[in-house]
A and B are shown apart, each in its own frame.
Chain A
Amino acid sequence: MKRHTTAMLAMVIGLSAALTACSSGEKNANSSSPAPSSSSSGTAAPSSPAASPEASKLEPYNVSIVYYGKPQKDDAVVQEELNKYLQDKINTTVTLQPIAPSDYKKKTELMMNTGEKMDLVFTASWLDFAANVTKGAFLELDSLLDQYGQGIKDSLSSPLYLEAPRFQGKLYAIPTDKEITQGKAFTFRQDIVDKYNIPIDQINKMEDLEPYFATIKEAEPGMINNYMTASPLSFMEYETKSNYRPIGPTPEKMPTFFVDYKSQDMKVKTVIDQDIVDLNKADAEMFRSYYEKGYTNADVATTTTNVADLRKQGKIWMQTTVWKPGADIEMKIADGYDWVSHVVEEPIVTTDLATGSMLSISRTSKNPERAMMVLNILHTDPYVINLLVNGIENKHYTKISDNRIEPIADSGYGDTALFWVLGNQFLNYLKPGQPDDLYDSWKQFNRDATRFPLLGFTFDDSNVKDIIAELTTIVGEYKVIGTGAVPNASKLIDERNAKLKSAGIEKVRDELQSQIDAWLQQNKN
């Protein structure tokens, strides 16, 4: 169903989409030419050469794809299958280079440092995309995209995607098309909600939960009311009680600098500004009382238990979650319980979230044009993307309907979640449990998401690195205060803030402010 819509849509768009249309149809023989920048892409960079030879005229080239995912047993089999197809199409072969998550950052940065040849490289805000761009790891993509990536431009589900991965106005990566952002939500187990008549629509912040914690602690002694780990903040704090949203560096992953996203002037505040301090203290005191009353797990400072395991055991009835359409069902697939969410934050598209999963072209690529062609295919060709994500039909999965599959267990491919890593997730076959309208609701979600006023801004920390290093240590030392596990949280917050101040947090703020101002100036028109 989905596939056909995509195909039809693509055909209408014009010449440039010929490639898309063919590949999503059943591999029509008349292998197409990538769009010369004509009619539809009239805005393309004029200086760019309009050479787009036929597949047969292309020289053979091998595109290496370095991506974030555990290597799988049948990687080579899938690669071979891909190559058969891609060779016909654009006379290209690919080398799949999956790198396990825990090694990914270290290994790719090593490869960048040593100038190893790579073509397509997975990158993301949380993999230091911005720093790597500053150091020159990736190629600038604007004109390449215009020439060889028309399919990408046409298929991306939100125009905001191409606004985010920019540095000094230039594009350096293409985001994976998936949910562009996340809302934040309180998620409850349906049976508990029913049993105790919890009005979930009225629960808009942590404080609102207190009476139900009390009830359930009494009635269900086996449950953990408020399961937390020692992260330096409760992540609902700013979202539920203020318009402040984090921006800039986050030492030890603690949001430290903020702007009021509804304000006009984008004034940067820090955790040592009074209104933020007040928020922090109120929050910490509340968690302290939850801890003392036994709502929070006693081992919060050090726990390593995976919350999914606890859910499976039926010990969790409430969780704060990042939310997107279908999140509740994902949880049900994992643990078997019915979940229901109350979304408390409107989804905002920030630079960080919109750049949460991307492919870029390495500076060391010997044929960036070809890399872009492959990237274009990853965004438009359902056959290719499903081969990469799910493997080979009847070997790694069986098809149960047009766009729905049943994975074959232990088949050697398809275990690793690659769907959010590569290309266009909306082309992926649906898996058991996922609702038919999942992708439609995601697209709707993407369309409705609010644009963060500083979308596309990234902070360049090179002038204040040493201060940030120091802030990191201080924040790390006090990260447990947000959990309630230590007494006198307010006093500790003051203590921490005094240290942050003397370490120079204000200098970082000023630097951040001036970069934001400059960025706003530049992007006014």
Chain B
Amino acid sequence: MSTGKNDAHNIAPETVLEFLRHTMPFNELDDDHLRELARHCIIDFIPKGTLIFRQGETEVEHFYLIQKGGVKIYLEDDQGEVTLKDFRGEGEYFGALPIIQNTRANLNVETVEDTFCFLFTKSAFRQLLDTSPRVSQYFLRSLSEKMINTAYAELRHHRVTPRTESALFLFSTQVGSAVKGEPKTIPADASVRRAAALMAELKIGSLLVTDPAGEIIGIVTDKDLRTKVVAAGLDYQTPVEKIMASPVITIPGHAVCFDAMLRMMRQRIHHLAIEKQGKIVGMITTHDIMLLQGTSPLYLFREIVAQRTLEGLHPLARKVPSVVRTLIEEGAKANNITKMITVLNDHILERLLTLLIEELGPPPLPFCWLLMGSEGRSEQTFKTDQDNALIYAWPQDEKKAAEAEEYFKALGERAIENLVLCGYPLCPGEMMASNPKWRMSAPAWQQCFDGWIMTPEPKEVMHSTIFFDLRPGYGDFGLADKLRHHLARTIPKQELFLYHLAQNAMEARPPLSFFRNLIVEKDGEHRNALDLKTKGLVPFVDFARLFALKHGIGESNTLVRLQLLREGGHISAEMYQETIKAYEFLMQLRLVHQLHMMENGQEPNNHINPANLSDLEKQTLKESFEVVRRLQSHIKAEFRLGER
């Protein structure tokens, strides 16, 4: 602060400086630049309902930065029809483009509230662009790589609590919830050889030792077998009670996992018996705690593959989020994360169906478990509804058909039941293998698809879109692949079907933008939450599906579809780039949002409150919606919608 010195004509108001310091891209400028800029600032008040720019007429003399209030930006065609383009609020600007391009106003700008703006003259703004490459880059860029990456970094930074707090899992999870089943026991007089054989068979590292009355009197672990038997040269017929540790160290079921870990570390043991109402109900091991910490997806993967019972499988799916958080912290992109979730879920499904088939006996006919929707596209997040179906080979005779029907009914129903127990919610539309409608022989499936494709009804198209994202999940993949090939061959010729599909892809209208932390819908309405899925992600999925089907591409993953469309020259390189960037950003935003919710003990959803987003996130999100609009106008042009 200057003290007493009268630099009368050389001061810049703090109010203006403070505002610029917190507004993109001016926050990139150093203090001297900012002061220089602030001195060229003109403050204007524009009452509500004032037309500031008239398209094609107004000579733009100033760049406008909104300090308070807001404007709407719209186009008016020859017939006087108005298309709303955007709302801009505090910290946002208008007038940059006409100054950069040296043209008249390209759009109408009208205040929707009493608005205060900082104005910079054309020459001051041009000088700013000339002297500050970072600022000019900001104004000139479209969806540049740099911006996206900065937005990603910010996402990781602000929305995921730092790694040190991942230990919080240990503080919130009770040991009781880690119980995987009845404790495994062995009589005290059984031999150590028998104990070793039993552990190997059950693939576990410890057994509880019971006396003739069935009371638990001790524990024997694989470490005991190594150190007290093998290394000590003890007879393998020695009864386990000679080598067991006694009494068993227990921990109450309501204690949190952190306490269990502490106790294990203090006593240098790897196993604790979990006690509920004086009864030992299970074991917790260091390995379980490591899993809870979620340090590596590999542990979870190994555990899934090692499961021998359906009950053992049920809790594993719930561990997926803790594994995924590590990946997000390490900067993995959403695409890799959803792939990881898909791989883990696929393994759970595989184990589950394998165990069921062991239970039900071999299937009478080859079959394939079909995955659809987000599972089919390998784009699962934390909570995805089940979307599945079942296809089986053509039964030669009535008897075989009846047999197949009975078997696959049991398999379908039991599988869905168990998937629910794993935490995968039921599909509200009952598009699941438990529904007889979606359990068919290969020819019946082909007929069903042909019905949708050849004689499409708009409503049916809408309901069947997720079927076109199908992917084999388990069993005879050939059955599914054959169906996919059939679709890839047939659909490109079915114009009416594609037309309906295109129309369907236009259904999800992206919101216009953010305006004072509110979402502005196309009709100018304000809402306070954004459905990231329906408004943001679905249009990309629809676009990729539509063009993949049109060009006979059999892939189901959105990013792979886009890549193949690019390689086939069906979309421009520019469109490809901006599309995948925007889509990945939206996926990332959703993942982080859902993870955040789960860590706060909430059910994950797709609703984002823009007030919780940073400026950069909002900006990037806004640009992603811009991409959606471009995709939809591409669809409109390609399929001549609106001309029929």
Task: Judge: A and B partners, yes or no.
Answer: no
